Amino acid sequence: MAEQETDAKAKAEDAKERYEKAERKVEELQDDPPTDLKDWPDDEAKYITLGGTEGEQSYDEGPTKNLGPHDLERHEDGSVSIEGEKVDNPDEYKADPIPGGPTDPNAPDLAGEGKKAEKRDDSTEE
């Protein structure tokens, strides 16, 4: 029984060490978060919330302020507003598309998308 307790304690300590290491890794990213998805951690650190889990700070006070304005709103016509005021150049607030994502022009069509496009083209020709 004592051996199982020692084994469980060692596993718990190992998990705690991994978590603390992941927290330190995310803390290093807080001041200058990566803009490219592939530059974000892909180990245990990807499960750590930027700014911590306590929620003691608002979006504009903590490290999340480096991600952009909290009140940025995108509109269907492609315009962008911040605090209700439309900005002059909405492209300044546009990030590069995520590779393979829905806005990536080089991404392959999803299953069935080709048929949808063909149906749209057929209906517009009539």
Please report, in tens digits, the pLDDT of each residue of the chain (126 residues total). 677 788 888 889 999 999 999 888 888 888 788 878 788 888 888 888 776 666 566 767 766 777 778 888 888 898 999 989 999 998 888 878 888 887 888 888 777 777 777 777 776 665
Query: Is the pTM for the entire model greater than 0.75?
Result: no
Show contacts of 13-22: CB within 8 Å, 24+ apart: 18/44, 19/44, 19/48, 21/45, 22/47, 22/48
Six-digit token string for 57: 């700070």
**To 5 degrees, how large is the angle CA 49–CA 29–CA 57?**
50
